[in-house]
Structure 1
Amino acid sequence: MTEQARESGVSGTLGSVFLIIVVVAGMGVLMVAVISQPHPQNVPAMTAEVIKTANSLSLRHDGGNTLTRGDFKILVDGQDKTAAFGDPATWSIGQTLQYTGYNSTNPAKTIQIVYTGGGSAQVIEQLMV
């Protein structure tokens, strides 16, 4: 075997080993990136109904998870009006919240129930009045 043939065999083997190392390292980095993702937030689900009369507006919890004070906001036309609904300690199925800020000359158009627990805000129900 000539010197050139021996060097060619060694360099080919080293190249193959290096390629395997690079591929395994890349797969390791990819797996760490996939596995280390934060767990998705457990967002409650619920439905609500708007009850509107000539001089009042209220929201009834129609189903889903119970919401706890501090974990949700009620936005009326984009403005936080949770306190105007009484800011209950909990809001569960069948409970109705009366809106004290109702103005029949300038009625609300949209109501959003926003989950704020877990550090982020996510709309869980959007209602048209």
Structure 2
Amino acid sequence: MSDNHTGAISEIVGALILTSLITLVIGIIAVGFLSQGTPAYVPAVRIDLIQVGSDDLVLIHRGGDTLHRETTRIYVNGIDRTIQFQREDDPGTWTTWNVGERLVYNGTYTSVRIVYSGSDAPALLFTNE
């Protein structure tokens, strides 16, 4: 008489494999739904603002990433004045703003905001308010 006791083992192994597959599928679905996309790039900068005389506003790039005019907006008193700023060392139209460079605006101000507009949503980089 030979006893064959393999029937119960195969049922247990089948149940374990099925449980593992269900756990794996739930994990994959959870990762897909709960994962966040990569965050939008926002430059890190340190900017100082000084008033020279009664009419000159000077912005000094003290450190961080280079800013590009295409993706940077400078609002003076709520109005976009980006193209009216000039580099102190090169009075022409600026295209990049690097560490140590100064942007000069001739005019009075009460508020200044610098906004990065290159990502999906605009990001405030600087304000004096």
Q: How many angstroms apart in 2 are the aligned matches of 1:72 and 1:81?
A: 11
Q: How many angstroms apart in 2 are the aligned matches of 1:84 and 1:76?
A: 10
Partner of 1:28: 28
Question: Which of 71, 74, 95 pairs up with 1:89?
Answer: 95
Q: How far has the Cα of 1:121 moved from its partner?
A: 0.7
Q: Percent identity?
A: 28
Q: How far has the Cα of 1:110 moved from its partner?
A: 1.7
TM-score (norm 1): 0.68
RMSD: 2.8
Aligned length: 112
Q: Which runs of 5+ in 1 are unaligned?
A: 1-17
- The runs of at least 4 aligned residues of structure 1 exceeding 4 Å deviation read 18-26
TM-score (norm 2): 0.68
Mapping for residues 38-117 of structure 1, pairs under 5 Å: 38-52=37-51, 53-86=53-86, 88-100=94-106, 102-103=107-108, 108-117=109-118
Letter in 2 for 1:92: N
Q: How many angstroms apart in 2 are the aligned matches of 1:78 and 1:19?
A: 61
Q: Which runs of 5+ in 2 are unaligned?
A: 1-17, 87-92
